[in-house]
């Protein structure tokens, strides 16, 4: 049993299996999970947990090179970019239309579904390398 970092065995395995530039989606509660993409469902209730909570835990164990989010997010894409850049300061920030985000999600190694009720709250991260 682990006693630090991410305790969820399925998420730990997903992280361990990623290679350079593999993508993981951290989704809000309403995101349409692409057919054939593995989903780890963490939703416990409305806004439990939230996407930023999961991102902060991922930052402890996964080097992130880039991240994407829907440009339609409110209050603004700039605010969201700054929020996520604070978690992944070395990663490239790429806002894009939600329709394009959904298409990009089809190539993800997995989706971690949260209970987040923030519309367009999804974030996709691309694994970097540890060296």
Catalytic annotation present for 118: no
Annotated catalytic residue within 7, 20, 60, 92:
20
3-state SS of the chain?
A: CCCCCCCCHHHHHHHHHCCCCCEEEEECCCCCCCCCCCEEECCCECCECCHHHHHHHHHHHCCEEEEEEECCCCCCHHHHHHHHHHHCCCCEEEEECHHHHHHHHCCCCEEEECCCCCCCCCEEEEECCCC
The residues annotated with a catalytic role in the active site are: 20
């Amino acid at each position: 049993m682990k006693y630090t970092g991410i305790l969820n065995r399925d998420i730990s395995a997903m992280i361990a299996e990623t290679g350079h530039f593999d993508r993981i989606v951290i989704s809000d509660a309403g995101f349409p999970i692409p057919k054939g993409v593995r989903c780890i469902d963490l939703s416990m209730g409305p806004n439990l947990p939230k996407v930023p909570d999961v991102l902060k835990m991922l930052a402890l164990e996964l080097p992130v090179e880039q991240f994407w989010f829907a440009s339609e997010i409110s209050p603004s894409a700039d605010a969201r970019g700054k929020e996520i850049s604070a978690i992944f300061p070395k990663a490239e920030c790429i806002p894009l239309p939600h329709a394009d985000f959904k298409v990009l999600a089809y190539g993800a190694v997995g989706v971690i579904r949260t209970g987040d009720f923030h519309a367009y709250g999804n974030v996709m991260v691309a694994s970097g390398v540890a060296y």
